[in-house]
Structure 1
Amino acid sequence: MAILKLSAAERRRISAFFTCLVLALVAWVITVLSSSYNYTVKEIITFKNAPLKRAFHSLQSDTVNITVKGTGWQMLLSKIREANHQIKIDLSPLDYEDFVVVSSQLPAINAEKAIHNQIIAITPDTLYFDFTNRSVRRVPVRLIKSIKYMPQFTQSGLSIIKPAYVTISGPSNLIDKIDVWHTDSLVLKNINEDVTTALNLRVPAEGNISVYPKTVQVTIPVEEYTEKTLELPVKLIGNVDYYNVKLFPQKVKVTFTTSLNRYADIDEELFEAQADLNLWRTYGISTLPVKVVRMPAFCKLVSVEPGNVDFIVKR
C-alpha cells in the first residue's frame, strides 16, 4: 500500500488550511448565536394580589407557552438560566372582571424576570376564572408526627401548638368541608428532652384556598419514665339486687409507668379498679374481669394482677 509523503512546505499549507477552516466555523457559530431570534418555552404561572372578596378557580392549565426574543446564546442556555420557569400574573383585575389579559402585564412581567431577553407574547393571552361564594373559617391545627424516643423516655403531656387555630378562606363548597388543618409531618428519632420547633402547615392542594398563618410553633413535653406498682381495692358495681358478695382477692396489683418527677406524688387515691357483677347476672361468667376506670392522664397502664377475681354471692 502506497504511503503519501508530504514535504514540510505541503504540511504547513495543509495545517494552515484546517486552522483557517476551524476559525471560520467558530466565527460562523458565534455570528449565528449572537443574532436575535424568537423562541418558545413553557413556564408555570403563579398568582399575586388575589382578590380578597371573591373565590376563584382557574379554568386553564397552570402552564403557558411564552415567546421570548433573545440571542441564540440565550435560546441555547434558556433551560439552564431559567431555573424556576415561573411567571407571576397579577390578579388585581379580578376585583371588577372575570378574566385577566396577560399581554397588558408584559412590561411588569419582563421587569421581574432575572434575564435580559424580553417576553413578547404569552399563550393563552387571556386567563378565565370560575367564581363562587367565598368563606372564611377558623379551624384547629392537627399535628402530624412520628417520634421515636430513647429507652425509658416518652411524651409526658399534650402537644402545645401556637397558634392552635388557623384561618382558612376560599370557595364555600370547599371550606365548609374542612374541620381541621394538618401540619407537615414532624419526624424525629432518639428523643430524650422537650421538643420545641417551628413547623410549616400543609400547602393547600387547591390554588384558590389560602391559609393564615403558614407556620406554627410546636412544643412536646418529654420526660423519663419508670414503673410503679400499687395495691388497689376492687370496687364492686352492678349489684342491683344488693346481694351479699365477697370478692377474692379484694385487692389487685396495678403496675403503670409514670415520669420520675411525679413518682412520689402518686398514690392509691388517684386510681379506681372495678368489677361488674352484671357480667355474672347477664352472661353467667364465673370470674369477674378487673378494669382500672380512673387513672391520672400522665400514667400508662402496664398490667393488672390478677386480671380476674373470684366471687361468692350470698342470697
Structure 2
Amino acid sequence: MAIVKLSATERRRASAFFTCLILALCAWIAITLSNSYDYQVKEVLVFKNSPQKRAFHPLQSDTVTATVKGNGWQMLFSKMNEQNRIIKVDLSKLDSEAYVVVSTQLNAINAEKAVDNEIIAIAPDTLYFDFTNRSDRKVPVQLVKSVNYQQQFTQSGNIVIKPAYVRIIGPSNVIDKIKFWRTDQLTLKNINEDVNTEVNLQAPDEGNVSIYPKTVQVSIPVDEFTEKTIELPVKLVGNVDFYNVKVFPQKVKVTFTTSLNRYADIDEEFFEAQADLNLWRAYGYSSLPVKVTRLPDYCKIVNIEPHNIDFIVKK
C-alpha cells in the first residue's frame, strides 16, 4: 500500500482544514440544538386537593402523553429527566363535577415544574372519574418482618407498633373488606439489641384509597436467652364422659428458653400443659402426648419430659 507523505506545510494545511471542519460541525450542532421544538414525553399524574366528601376512581391510566415546547438540548436530554416527569392535577372541581380538564391547569402545572420546558398540551386532556360512597375507618397494622438474631439472642417480649391502628379512607365497597393494613417488610440481620425503627406502610393499590399515617414506629425487645426447666401439672381435657382418670406421672418437666432479664420471674403460672383423653376414646391411644398450650410469647419450648403419659380409666 502506498503511503502518502506530506510536507510540513501540507500537514499544517490539513490540520487547519480538519480543525475548521470540526469547529463548523460543532457550531452547526449548537445552533440546531438551540432552536425550539415540540416533542412528546410520558408523564405520571399525581392528584392534589382530592375531594373530602366523594370517593373517586380514575377511568383512565395515570400516565399521559405531554407535548412539551423546548430547545434541542432539552429534547436531547429529556430521557435523563424521568424524576421530573410528574404532573400535579388539582381535583378540587370534583366536588361538583365528574371530570377535570387538564388544559385549564397548564399555567399552574408549568409553574410547578422543576425544569424550564413548557407543556403546551396533554393527551388525554379530559380526565373522567367514577364516584362511590366514601368510607372512613380504622384497621390494625400488621408488621411484615424478616428478623435474624445473633446466636443466643431473640425476641424477649411483645412487639409494639405505634400507632397500632391506621385510618383508611376510600370507597365503601373497598374499605369494608379491609381487615388490617400491612407494613413494608422489615428486614434485620444479626440482631443482639433492642430494635426501635420507623417502617413505611404499604402503598394502596387503588388510587382512590388513602391511609393515615403512612409510617409507624416499631419496637422489638431483644435479649440474650438461656434455658430453664420447671415442673408442670398435666391438665386432662377431652373427658366428655367424666370418667375417673388417673395419669402417670402427674407432672412433666418442661425445658424452655427465656431471656436473662425474665429468668427469675418465670414460673409455672405462665404455662399450661395438657393431655387429651379424646385420643384414647376416639383413636385408641394407649398413652397420651403432652402439649404445652399456654406459654409467654418470649419463651420457646425445648423439651418435654416425658413426652407421653400413661393413664388408667375407671368407669
Structure-1-length-normalised TM-score: 0.89
Q: State which drifts further: 14-23 or 129-138.
A: 14-23
Q: State which drifts further: 102-111 or 260-269.
A: 260-269
Distance 1:160 1:260 in 2: 20
Q: Are the structure 2 counterparts of residues 163 and 25 from structure 1 closer, same or farther at C-alpha, using a change threshold of 3 Å? A: same
The residue that corresponds to 1:74 in the other structure is 74
Computing the radius of gyration from Cα coordinates, the structure with the larger value is 1
The residue that corresponds to 1:89 in the other structure is 89
The residue that corresponds to 2:154 in the other structure is 154
Secondary structure of 1:184's counterpart equals coil
Alpha-carbon distance, 1:275 to partner? 3.7
Distance 2:177 2:90 in 1: 29
Count of matched residue positions in the alignment of Structure 1 and Structure 2: 314
Secondary structure of 2:32's counterpart equals helix
Secondary structure of 2:167's counterpart equals strand
Distance 1:65 1:267 in 2: 68
The residue that corresponds to 2:299 in the other structure is 299
Letter of the structure 2 residue corresponding to residue 64 of structure 1: V
Is 2:158–2:298's contact at 8 Å kept on the other side of the alignment? no
Letter of the structure 2 residue corresponding to residue 184 of structure 1: D
Letter of the structure 2 residue corresponding to residue 90 of structure 1: D
Alpha-carbon distance, 1:269 to partner? 4.5
Distance 1:173 1:120 in 2: 38
Distance 1:284 1:11 in 2: 108
Identity of aligned residues (%): 71
Alpha-carbon distance, 1:290 to partner? 2.6
Letter of the structure 2 residue corresponding to residue 198 of structure 1: E
- Within the alignment, does 1:197 sit opposite 2:197 as a pair? yes
The residue that corresponds to 1:220 in the other structure is 220
Secondary structure of 1:52's counterpart equals coil
Is 2:166–2:212's contact at 8 Å kept on the other side of the alignment? yes
Secondary structure of 1:43's counterpart equals strand
Query: After superposition, what is the alpha-carbon deviation per residue over 1:128-155, rounded to whole angstroms, capped at 9, x for unaligned?
Result: 1111111111111111111011122211
Q: Are the structure 2 counterparts of residues 268 and 198 from structure 1 closer, same or farther at C-alpha, using a change threshold of 3 Å? A: closer
The residue that corresponds to 2:57 in the other structure is 57
Distance 1:251 1:170 in 2: 55
CA RMSD, Structure 1 to Structure 2 (Å) = 2.5
The residue that corresponds to 1:115 in the other structure is 115
Letter of the structure 2 residue corresponding to residue 186 of structure 1: L
Alpha-carbon distance, 1:196 to partner? 0.8
Alpha-carbon distance, 1:191 to partner? 1.1
The residue that corresponds to 1:169 in the other structure is 169
Distance 2:251 2:3 in 1: 112
Q: Are the structure 2 counterparts of residues 5 and 174 from structure 1 closer, same or farther at C-alpha, using a change threshold of 3 Å? A: same
Q: How does 1:9-28 map to 2 (within 5 A)?
A: 10-28=10-28
Distance 1:138 1:164 in 2: 10
Q: State which drifts further: 56-65 or 268-277.
A: 268-277
Q: Are the structure 2 counterparts of residues 13 and 64 from structure 1 closer, same or farther at C-alpha, using a change threshold of 3 Å? A: same
- Within the alignment, does 1:137 sit opposite 2:137 as a pair? yes
